[in-house]
Structure 1
């Protein structure tokens, strides 16, 4: 039996409602994000994965249905959601103004490929020349007008990233959550604030979705949002304990009870999330990114 090369993932299509197709990217671990196809008018692609060869499966899914992309929306700035933008030449690509501005600064930075290779080692060789096309800035209200009728756009800032968009389809009760939801995968709050992400989850839960499409992991129900909220409650409690007892993030992480999140992929991210939450509680200046060290105990590694 041949071994599967590192960084290889099986992408599959899941039709979660009429005219809503998810291209699920592997197990949702580091570098493996989902894309969503809205087959209304206009035909819309939500996020384009990390690499063009991944995004080729998005094009294949559209072609199989006799469709071509007419609009691309990037939910946020992270490279694993924007790397396939260049496959949609001639198609409008839009994002929140904060996201678009950050993309213009980020894309082409000389040190970016090396940083990406460190964060996503399974794809290190394929990230040596990583590049993308920045989105055009468009306010959320205008993105909503451009999307298929009945789609609502929800805006969140400094939660998972500087700016995140979620799409709510009330007719089918489908929530396209982007990276505001991870399902079966430990989230990463290094570019946001844990407390604001936790509050964002309350807004999403209040919608009462039947289907939640996460940025990473398989489509799920509202339980995925509730489990993520529980996880962040535990992270915030650990950070408060560290602050009150003057303990290190590593000390509280060593005895962290993940509850329903036990067994999720990428468990070492919990240390980072505790460090970010602790920085918030300590009142350290927030500039959109907390630079923290991941000194991981092998017992907490994936």
Structure 2
């Protein structure tokens, strides 16, 4: 039994909504009460969890949610968009909008096969209706919110929200804290490049896409894991070992204590693509990668408690 989601006020009027234990589909939205409205960053994976998020916002602020920012296109951050779209502008990177629209037909059926125990509820994919390319600035009362595109990394659609006055980074899935990062749909090398860029910011507080609120040292933790993936992939690739066997042969060390360790298989698939000289974020065989992740998981469906 998981603990209830937790609202954490990380700075005056800025809140993280922590969904324990941060594993598959248990993401962390955030919200900012700016006095006359609320800005939300990300929705949740299904109807029930998004309604709970909205109730948490309402318990703290009487103000309406007028703006919703999507950090990337993955369904655990966007399926709940439809519960905001009647009243809020939805903002995301251009690639985020494009991917949601492209994948919408049949997506619910596909994810239901991947996560058969999840009740998605009454959700309809809704894409951002305001898009940006590299950066965008929102003014929230006296705060400046800088939306910064950092892809390819976790996906080809990632953006972060940087609040310089408070030195807060709302990282989306650029940061998994105590959970295994997942680069299959993005780029291992690109993700490390994004982290180097973000390390230049004077960050005090990080709201991770999954896992507890952290300080800036969590960027180094994620980077260390991605470096481990690259080093492990290089050795196995040079030896002609396929990603599944390479994952089985690996000693994950301290990274094995994180949730969702089967993601190492998908991460090796992505790292192999880059070792072959393919473009960061290039299309690869997702069905094979996910199938091998399930094999690594003992043939059991991926653990999703949404």
TM-score (norm 1): 0.88
| Number of residue pairs matched by the alignment | 292
User: What is the aligned partner in structure 1 of residue 174 from structure 2?
Assistant: 180
- Across the aligned residues of Structure 1 and Structure 2, the Cα RMSD in angstroms comes to 2.4
Query: 1:116: Cα distance to partner?
Result: 0.8
Q: How does 1:158-173 map to 2 (within 5 A)?
A: 158-173=152-167
- Asked whether 1:44 is paired with 2:34, we answer no
1:135 aligns to what? 128
Match of 2:215 among 214, 218, 221: 221
- The runs of 5 or more residues in structure 1 that have no matched partner are none
Match for residue 91 of structure 1 among 72, 81, 88: 88
For residues 251-297 of structure 1, what are the alpha-carbon distances to aligned partners after superposition, in whole Å with 9 as ceiling and x for unaligned?
33223243442210000111110111011111246544542334334
1:118 aligns with 2:107: no
Determine which of 34, 51, 58 is the counterpart of 1:56: 51
**Cα offset for 1:92?**
0.8
User: Paired residue for 1:18, among 12, 22, 46?
Assistant: 12
CA distance in 2, matches of 1:162, 1:73: 16
Counterpart of 2:264 in structure 1 is 270
CA-to-partner distance for each residue in 1:60-102, whole Å, 9 max, x for gaps? 2222222221101111110000111122212111211111122
Equivalent residues of 2:45, 2:120 under 8 A apart: no
Aligned to 1:103: 100
2:226 to 232, 252, 257: 232
CA distance in 1, matches of 2:199, 2:254: 17
Give a deviation string over 1:117-169, Cα, whole Å, max 9, x none. 2333441xx13764232211421567423555322221112211112110111
Whether the 8 Å CA contact 1:113–1:128 is kept in 2: the answer is no
Q: Which moved more, 1:202-211 or 1:24-33?
A: 202-211
| C-alpha contact (below 8 Å) 1:181/1:228 kept by paired residues | yes
Change (3 A) 1:248 1:287: closer
TM-score in terms of structure 2 length: 0.87
> Cα gap change, 1:81/1:289 in structure 2, threshold over 3 Å: closer, same or farther?
farther
Q: Tell me the distance in 2 between the aligned counterparts of 1:226 and 1:141.
A: 24
2:241 equivalent to 1:247? yes
- Secondary structure of the 1:203 match is helix
How big is each residue's C-alpha offset from its partner over 1:168-213, in whole Å with a ceiling of 9 and x where there is no partner? 1122211100010101111211211111011111122222422111
1:72 paired residue number: 68
Secondary structure at the counterpart of residue 150 of structure 2: strand
Deviations 1:208-256, CA, capped at 9 Å, x for gaps:
4221111111111122211110000000001111222222223332232
SS in 2 for 1:262: helix
User: Is it true that 1:145 corresponds to 2:145 in the alignment?
Assistant: no
